[in-house]
Amino acid sequence: MEPNPLKGQPALVTGANSGIGCAVAKALAAAGAPVVVNYVVDPAAADRVVDEIRSSGGQAMAIQADVGREDQVQSMYRKMFEAYGTIHILVNNAGLQRDAAFVEMTLHDWEFVLSVNLTGQFLCAREAAREFLRRGVAPEVSCAAGKILCMSSVHEVIPWAGHVNYAASKGGVMLLMKSLAQELAPHRIRVNSLCPGAIRTPINVSAWSTPEALANLLTLIPYGRVGDPEDIGRAAVWLASDASDYVNGTSLFIDGGMTLFPGFSTNG
């Protein structure tokens, strides 16, 4: 790939003040994109991401918005357009877990996860698509009119007991992404998903922070290591760049083989 494949392409990364979103924001900025670091709580963490990007010579600004709220999403886009003029890349990253045994799961836990993980992706993608359609292709920066990257999960295909709200949201993201890709492709808008497996971030600390938990987790990962947020950042740069121009409607699993049914490697 050329040195600054995303130069001149403003990007919005939701939930970019921690974990995977933070690594993706930094990777896109390092590839030349001016980046909006969206957050909903912990403004200090968002400011740290912005400062880090700026001190490495990149362009970034933080904007607060709850992605599940239409008014807040629309006002975030207005602020982004005032500062950067337009959007070329949306990374629909904001997501969370509220785990519970199915019979204990409250309606609030169900609705909260669906609101952030699925409705949030709908609202942010709709505003981005409206702007892509209005502007069309800007051939000096990209051969596509816009790129949407949905942060999904291995749990768009792996059922997950104790996490039915989360798994349902990611299954929903899969068909949201594919249906959008089908609808928007004639307008030269690409829509794809990144599907991380176990990545070392705050969302799954309990799965890797003790030796016992880590050993257990590694039995699910044929490649023998937990992923780093930068593994996702690098893939995001490629999927947002013209290097992947013919890739549309695809789920890219970045999981060290977690989706390869490792339980079947010795029997079955």
Verify whether residue 39 is a known catalytic residue.
no
* C-beta of 33 vs 232, nearer to ligand BGC: 232
Locate 66 and state its tokens. 């709850």
| DSSP codes joined into one string, 96-107 | ------GGG--H
Taking Cα atoms as reference points, which of 151, 202, 208 lies closest to residue 18?
Answer: 202
- 154 near ligand BGC (CB under 6 A): yes
Where does this chain touch ligand BGC (CB under 6 A) — which range of 113-121, 126-134, 151-159, 178-186? Answer: 151-159
Binding flags for ligand BGC, 174-213, as an x/- string (CB under 6 A): -----------------------xx----xx--x------
Residue facing ligand BGC at closest CB distance: 153
Active-site pick, 39, 77, 84, 166: 166
Half-sphere exposure of 111 (CA within 13 A, CB side): 4
Contacts of 239 (CB under 8 A, 6+ apart): 147, 149, 192, 194, 247, 252
Binding flags for ligand BGC, 118-147, as an x/- string (CB under 6 A): ------------------------------
Where does this chain touch ligand BGC (CB under 6 A) — which range of 32-40, 58-66, 153-161, 234-242? Answer: 153-161
Contacts of 152 (CB under 8 A, 6+ apart): 170, 173, 174, 177, 193, 194, 195, 251
* C-beta of 127 vs 255, nearer to ligand BGC: 255
* C-beta of 105 vs 203, nearer to ligand BGC: 203
- 151 near 95, Cβ under 8 Å? yes
Where does this chain touch ligand BGC (CB under 6 A) — which range of 51-59, 115-123, 130-138, 148-156? Answer: 148-156
Least gap, CB of 53 to ligand BGC (angstroms): 24
How far from 219 is each of 19, 50, 80, 201, 224, CA to CA, in Å?
A: 23, 37, 43, 19, 8
Least gap, CB of 206 to ligand BGC (angstroms): 9
Out of 119, 121, 142, 153, the only residue in the binding site for ligand BGC (CB under 6 A) is 153
Binding flags for ligand BGC, 48-87, as an x/- string (CB under 6 A): ----------------------------------------
Locate 216 and state its tokens. 């257990």
Largest alpha-carbon pair distance within the chain? 59
Locate 243 and state its tokens. 């290097």
DSSP run (H or E) holding 77: helix 70-84
Residue ranges that bind ligand BGC, judged by CB under 6 A: 97, 153-155, 197-198, 203-204, 207
Q: Which residues are catalytic?
A: 166
